[in-house]
Amino acid sequence: MCGVFGFTGPEDPKLLRRMADAVHHRGPDGEGFFHHGQFSMGMKRLSIIDLQGGGQPIFNEDESLALCFNGEIYNYVELADELAAKGHVFRTRSDTEVIVHAYEEWGEDCLDRLNGMFGFALYDKRKETVFLARDRTGQKPLYYYHQNGRFVFGSEIKAILEHEGVERSPNLAAIDPYLSLRYVPQPQTMFAGINVLPGGHKMVLNVVRNELRVERYWDIPMHEGRYRSEGEYYEEFEELFHDAVRLTMRSDVPVGTYLSGGVDSSLITADVARLSDKLNTFSIGFNSSIDETPQARALASQLGTKHHEVNVTVDDFEDLPRVVWHMERPLGDVLVLAYYKLAEATSKHVKVVLGGEGADENYAGYSFHKVICWTERYRRLMPRWLNRGLVTPTLDAIPVWLLDKGFIYPAYLGKRGKARIVDYLRNYHDRNLNENYIALRAMWETDERRAVYSEGFKKKVSEDWIKPPRTDRGPFLDRLLHLQFDDWLQDNLLLRQDTNTMAHSIELRLPFLDHRLIEQAFRMPKKLKVRGFTDKYIERRLARKLLPPENVTRSKNPFYFPLEHFHENPKVRELLRMTLDESRIRKRGYFDPKSVKNLIDKMESGEFLYLKQVLSLVILELWHMVFIDRERLW
């Protein structure tokens, strides 16, 4: 695990030094630099595999290829054996060197052979080209700037900003999707001119001509045709899962697991515990009724792990500016603070930790999966005129306290939340799948965003960031799941995990994002993912072999930051005053001060949406203060 960076143009050792220092936290164990012609690159290393011999850059036999690599290739042992049999000579035992020889052997198609997470740059001296690629699901980040004859790249934007030719400017077009989604959808970032290389993509830069080619090399295969038997799918799933866990455990340093108490992390922990007799497990809580820490503690005791619990308190809000600095692309959810504190505690015990991300996306584990599928079935039965003329008016008349009983979060749904549900159902017939997907999860609806914008900023806003689904093939549920791999997973879940773990120099590995498991999930029939009210059906079937019954049947508990217990605290109020006072809002120019004040006043009701909306504005302003104004807030 490392941080990589580089640029085209004259050699500049001072710039490489600044870029390295900017991402030191990603790799405090070592560093390396490379320059040839009009290209320079470097890396900071976190030593996980081949601790003594895995330094970078790594070269091929005649040193015509040079590689700087961030990530892990889990099947490097098998690939190294295959490549050695073809005559390639290895100088190290590292997974990094496998990429160099795989490129020699198979060219750009080497990406099809790699099982792992990665963001790398491979320079070819003969061709004077740079081959850059990111893993299939975007577990490891890779950003780039390509303007004004310059090309600059890095594992983090902070390294790119060290280049004097890159201007620190906010990307105004990213603010509207940020408020709606809670994150900036790729390939944009919140910085003007700086883009994300999406997961499953590669790019090749001709250094001499400054020409850049970007292409997708992997996509989820959508199933068409007949299905196999349930037993065949289950046997294949069990074999693939055990192998994915086995591969992600490859390490020359101790490995632990995140353990939330839910079925995903519990299943991984149980499988790791079978293979490791000194397993450390880690859980996060808030000292509130929503915590799953008691369930995680009980399972850890049964599995015999050394368990650690972390509780976030209101005192931890002082770390929020630092968390925003690490995130770089703001995430409008204060839950990022919990992941930061969890990683901080974990780093005191292990250098590698396994997590459960990806299972919900593979096997339909979120509540909104069921809601959209139910609504789609309702749409087929209910004519548009009857839905608008009778059903939604009736729903609108139901008292909010009654609807609140069906709200999956322990927080209070409130009037605004009720209005959101009615609007979703009323307009479902007239939206495409992606629009309904966004409408159901949106932090701010279109009218709410426009109401809070200043008059001047409203003229600059459009919704052209809302795209139609990339495919209309395959079963409805699979098309819904497919949407998440392009943004929700990469730009939200994986971003917050990578930045927060790397902030503390630890490596997160995610067995459920093994591409073999993903591809198999999209070959399965719906009933192996959702069956009645049971989600992740095939995963729970395997869990019955490895876990106690209570862990198998427990429904997914929404993991969210219980702001209703924190928002009246003086420290939170001071954070609001610092970021959302009238003078700052006017200076920034995006929002109407009166509308923001009105929103803050509505927080007093404790309504779920108002609390989350206010904190999303706080995080956006902190991002500006840290990166644009360059204020020191810690």
Active centre residues (catalytic): 2
The single-letter DSSP state of residue 128 is T
| 375 vs 421: CA distance, rounded Å | 12
Cα Rg, the chain, nearest whole Å:
24
Element (H, E) at 176: helix 175-181
The single-letter DSSP state of residue 283 is E
Supply the DSSP string of 43-108, one letter for each residue. EEE---SSTTT--SSEE-TTS-EEEEEEEEETTHHHHHHHHHHTT---S-S-HHHHHHHHHHHHGG
Asked if the bond preceding 187 is cis, omega within 30° of 0, the reply is: yes
Q: What is the sign, positive or negative, of the torsion defined by CA atoms of 390, 393, 395, 399? A: negative
The single-letter DSSP state of residue 564 is G
| 34 vs 236: CA distance, rounded Å | 44
By C-alpha distance, which of 433, 436, 455, 432 is closest to 445? 436
Say which amino acid occupies 8.
Answer: T
User: What tokens does 211 get?
Assistant: 């020409």
| 547 vs 553: CA distance, rounded Å | 10
The CA angle 339-342-347, to the nearest 5 degrees, is 125
In this structure, the number of other CB atoms found within 10 A of the CB of residue 153 comes to 28
Q: 290 near 410, Cβ under 8 Å?
A: yes
Residue 206 DSSP SS3: strand
| 444 vs 429: CA distance, rounded Å | 21
| 396 vs 599: CA distance, rounded Å | 23
